[in-house]
Every structure is written in C-alpha cells, then in structure tokens.
Amino acid sequence: MHFDQPDALENKHGGFLNLNIVQVPTLTSFTICNLVKHWVTINAPLIMAKMGYALGIGPPGRCSDRNFCPNGNGATEPYIVSHNLLLAHATAANLYKQNYQATQGGQIGISLVAQYVEPFSNTSLDVEAARRAMDFELRWYMEPLVRGEYPESVRRLVKERLPVFTPQEKHSSKDHSISWVSIITPPDMLMSLAVGPGPSSSNMDSNTEKKTPHEGEEEEDNDESSLHLGPQRTLKEQLEKDKDDESLRKWKEQLLGGVDINNIGETLEPEVKFQSVAIVSPDRADIVLEIPADGKPQGLWFTLKEGSHYSLKFTFQVSNNIVSGLRYTNTVWKTGVKVYGTKEMIGTFSPQLEPYTHEMPEETAPSGFLARGTYTAKTKFLDDDNKCYLEINYTFDIKKDWASAE
C-alpha cells in the first residue's frame, strides 16, 4: 500500500486517520499468486504521513496551513496515520503468517524510507541531534516493530500528541509482524545540527535542522543539483489528464482549490510576483516597503527600533502553475561579518487571481549600544528547485527609536 487506498475509505471513513483502517487487511486475499515469496504490506509510511498529512502535497492533501489545505493538523495527524499504518501492517502480516505462509512458503515485511544523517559537528548537541533526526525517520517505524514502542526522544518531544500502543498491540507488532525489512535511502547524505524548539509539527518536533555536507553559510542557486523529472506537463494539461477518474479529479480539486482553468497559463514554470513587503510591529503602524524592480533599494531601506518585536508580512501572486516549497532565506552582516541567518518554509501555492498574504514568525531586534548601527542584508525567495523569484540586497539601521519619517 502506498497512497492507494480506495476512495470510499477516505471519503466515508477518514482513511488512515480512522483506526478501523487496521481491519482492512482482513479483506485482502493473499491467494492471488502462490509464486509470490516476498510480500510488502506498506511502502514508505513516512512519505505517506508527511506528504499527505503534514505538508499537504500528497493525497489526501491535509496540513495545518489554511492557505494551502482546507483541512488537517500537521501537529497530530502524521502521528495518528503512522500509528494506524503500523497496526495495519501488523494485522496483515499476522493474517498472512497464520493462514498462508505454511502453504506458500513466502515471507512478509514492510518497506521503510529514511535519509542517512550524521552530526553536523562533533559537539555533543549535534551528535544527539543526528540521533534524534534518525529517531524521527527510521526508528519512528522500526522500533515499534522490534521493541513494541516508539523511540524515547519521540515520546519525550511529541508527548500527548503521540498515540500509545496497548499491550496487545505491542505484542502483535513486535513479535510476529516482520520477516524482513526494506529500507530505501535517498542518495544524498544529510548532516544534522541542533536547533531550539519550534512550532508543534511533525516536521519540527525533532528540534533539528538538516544540511548537506557541502552547504555553505549562504544558500546559493545550483541548477546542477536540481532534480529534473520528466516528462513535465503544464497545469492545464495536468487538470485535463485523467479527468474521468473521479478519485483523482476530487484530489486535484482539493489541492488546487477554486482555480479557474481559463486563468492558467500554458507554461510549465510558475510565476511569483511579490507585491508588497511590510514590517509589522505592535509598537507602531506598519512600515510598507517599496520593492525595486532590480531588488536593490537605494540607500537605507528601513530602521528598526532596538529591542522591538516585529515580523515581516508580504503579499504575492502566483500564476501559470503551482509553486512548490516556496521558502524565505535572510542573511545579515555588520561590518562585513555575518551576524544572523534564517530560513523559513512558506509553503506550496496554486495559481489564483487573489494574492496570498504570509506573515513570518515574530522576531526581536537586538538591543544595546553594540547592536546599534548599519547592517547589510540579502533576502531571497526560492522554490524547491532553487529557482529564485525575488532577491533583495539592502541596508538597514538599528537605532534607539523608530525613524520618524517612516
């Protein structure tokens, strides 16, 4: 099983969020072919849980971001779905072993996916972060199959959002459910470093950040590293394709919302136009910043009050095609020395006539005599293919108070 449950199970019963999904394997026949010697119950449950229920870019398209998903909760649902998938696997495996294995002579297992992670440095924090990163990928599924329990770090960090195995479920999962395990490892090794706690989400709960071994301090465009899939189709072609398949049609409608096909371009590449950027602070009126066509504001772009709480808010419009994995990066220097860097995932957006509005998490400007002065910065908005839609190179000040002219 891999994203391929019957449409009726999703629409009428909630699909993998419903504990009754565990009973579905009892309806499955293993008698279709006595020549099959290696059975797979579920393929890549991590991908199913994260893409379908945390990011919303796979069926059934659920996540916490209401700009993208009409329903879902990325803080709880990936754990519920994973728990139910593990129980469904155990049910199917035990059914096969009790009723078919003796006559067919086959074996049954599960196919997992996990990226290999090493510490970003030899500090104890990064060493532990690498272990946590693996806990939240491979061991999230592997330990219940061999120990009947989730990894300690997952239980400690997810807390009450994590489902609990009953004694009977522990016995069923760990003692009889696997004859073999397939582990799919993407080719790129990642390195993990420790970060502070973020918002509750299955993507953030491990308190780690992953980097490639050669990732520098600044993220630069690298067309050679992009993954090119083909053949590619325009969004209009995608909407027309399989239009007679009701299940696919409904999922596309949910994914794209109220897209008017007459307003979709014929090009493959999405177009993202940023219309405004504003600094929002409870201390003052919003500072609306003009975005120059060349991305290089002349002179000082804005002034921040030291110690003030503020956030960035921007509006943008998406046309032609879906923009996938839109993210924001910001690097700040003072007297040529890098003093700050941040990256933030914004999301995936379908084309629509109305602009999107996104507000970044609140930040606090540094304070004190040494913090005051002039800074240079570079802000980028990129997608998951590293295509840059806007780059702004600018200077700003931190002073004792807001600039009166703004």
The DSSP output letter for 164 is -
CB contact at 8 A, 380 and 329: yes
Q: Higher model confidence: residue 72 or residue 261?
A: 72
The whole-number pLDDT of residue 226 equals: 46
CB 18: neighbour CB atoms within 10 A? Answer: 17
Strands 388-399 and 300-305: parallel
216 pLDDT exceeds 50? Answer: no
Q: Which residues contact 237 (CB under 8 A, 6 or more apart)?
A: none
User: Which alpha helices (DSSP H) does 37-165 contain, by range?
Assistant: 45-53, 77-99, 101-104, 124-135, 138-146, 152-158
| 73 and 169 together in one domain | yes
229 pLDDT exceeds 50? Answer: no
For the residues of 314-349, what is the DSSP string, one character each? EEEEEESS-EEEEEEEEEEEETTEEEEEEEEEEEEE
CA pair distance 264, 82, nearest whole angstrom:
36
CB contact at 8 A, 358 and 346: yes
In a domain, 266, yes or no: no
In a domain, 1, yes or no: no
| 189 and 294 together in one domain | no
| 209 and 286 together in one domain | no
In a domain, 225, yes or no: no
- The string of pLDDT tens digits covering residues 82-116 is 999 999 898 888 888 888 888 888 888 899 988 87
In a domain, 159, yes or no: yes
End position of a domain, from candidates 216, 238, 255? 216
In a domain, 207, yes or no: yes
| 277 and 357 together in one domain | yes
End position of a domain, from candidates 179, 194, 216? 216
CATH code for the domain in which residue 360 is found: 2.70.50.30
Confidence of residue 182 (pLDDT cuts 50, 70, 90): confident
- The string of pLDDT tens digits covering residues 56-85 is 888 888 888 888 788 999 999 999 999 999
102 CB burial (10 A radius; 0-12, 13-18, 19+):
exposed
Domain count, the chain: 2
Confidence of residue 321 (pLDDT cuts 50, 70, 90): confident
CA pair distance 242, 240, nearest whole angstrom:
6
| 212 and 276 together in one domain | no
| 100 and 206 together in one domain | yes
Average pLDDT over residues 329-341: 90
Rg for the chain (alpha carbons), in Å?
24
CA pair distance 150, 157, nearest whole angstrom:
11
Q: Higher model confidence: residue 307 or residue 55?
A: 307
- Average model confidence (pLDDT) across the chain: 80
Q: Higher model confidence: residue 362 or residue 237?
A: 362
| 28 and 174 together in one domain | yes
In a domain, 252, yes or no: no
200 pLDDT exceeds 60? Answer: no
The whole-number pLDDT of residue 293 equals: 82
311 pLDDT exceeds 90? Answer: yes
| 116 and 196 together in one domain | yes
332 pLDDT exceeds 80? Answer: yes
Residue-range definition of the domain harbouring residue 68:
7-216
221 pLDDT exceeds 50? Answer: no
| 289 and 174 together in one domain | no
Q: Assign 122 to helix, strand or coil.
A: coil
Residue % of the chain over a pLDDT of 70: 74
In a domain, 297, yes or no: yes
For the residues of 123-143, what is the DSSP string, one character each? SHHHHHHHHHHHHTTHHHHHH
In a domain, 228, yes or no: no
CATH code for the domain in which residue 41 is found: 3.20.20.80
CA pair distance 390, 318, nearest whole angstrom:
13
| 78 and 190 together in one domain | yes
259 pLDDT exceeds 70? Answer: no
| 173 and 41 together in one domain | yes
End position of a domain, from candidates 216, 237, 253? 216
CB 381: neighbour CB atoms within 10 A? Answer: 20
- pTM across the whole model: 0.53
CA pair distance 151, 321, nearest whole angstrom:
40
| 82 and 187 together in one domain | yes
358 pLDDT exceeds 80? Answer: yes
